[in-house]
Structures are given as C-alpha cells and as structure tokens.
Structure 1
C-alpha cells in the first residue's frame, strides 16, 4: 500500500508541473497570435510573460527531477557525477 501511494504522489508531482508548462506554452502562443486578431491588434505582454514563467518553471522542475534521478542511478556523464571529498 505504501509503495503505490508513493508512486501516486510521484506521478502527481510530475503531472502538475507538466500541465503548468503546457499551459504556459499555450499562453505564450495565444499572446503572440493576438497580434493578428483584428479586435485586439497588439501583443498581450502580461499573458506572454506569465506564460514564459510557467513554461520555464515546469520544464526546469521536470528537468531537475530527471537529472537528479539519473545522477542517483549513475546514468549521467562523469562531469555531472557528484564530487566526492578527498580524505
């Protein structure tokens, strides 16, 4: 039971930033293409910057999660491995 609960929590921790990144990308796209809308006619800068923020935060979280998981399992290149203290 404990293992399934931890896996569900891990999936939720990855899905929420993924949804935020997807919404950020869509917000940037909508803000950019608002230029071509005859009723608006200009770029929605606030929506664009919120989209950049959400997209960058989501991608950074998922990338960091993957990087530290791979580092723990020794899947990374030698330059990314954790430095050990010399005795």
Structure 2
C-alpha cells in the first residue's frame, strides 16, 4: 500500500518540477519546441507547477485529517 502512495506522489512531483523548468526557460527566453509562444510555455509551466503542488498538498492534508493531526475544523472551540 505504501508503494502505491509513493507512486501517487512521484508523478505530480515530477510534473511540478517540469513546470518549474518551463517557467524558468520562459523567463530566460528559451522556447521549447512544442510551444508556439513563450507566454503559452509560461502558463503551461505555471499550471503544471500549481497542479502538482495542489495534489501533493491535498494528499498530505487528507492523510493528516485521517490521522487526526490537524487543529481546527468543525469542532474547534477557538474559532
């Protein structure tokens, strides 16, 4: 079961890393062959980075909620 969780986290991490690379290349003016314009390359890189970060963050949040490691929520008396 842990190997499946590891594989579920590796793919979004690789996509987020590739998104950072695309944004960096767009910032320095290096156009990748599959994109027609540098702005499109930057937007795709930003989307890959945000999507990967969102998935990994959601996975960790779900795991911590399942183990009751998160403060707050519906029954928080301090909110």
Structure whose CA Rg is larger = 1
Q: 4+ runs of 1 displaced by more than 3 Å?
A: none
SS of match in other structure, 2:28: helix
What RMSD in Å do the two structures reach over aligned CA positions? Answer: 1.7
Find out whether 1:53 has 2:47 as its counterpart. yes
Unaligned runs of 5+ in 1: 1-5, 36-42
Which structure has more relative contact order (CA 8 Å, sep 6+)? It is 2
Which has the larger share of helix?
A: 1
TM-score, normalization by structure 1: 0.72
| C-alpha distance after superposition, 1:48-84 (max 9, x if no partner) | 00001100000000000000110111111123xxx47
TM-score, normalization by structure 2: 0.79
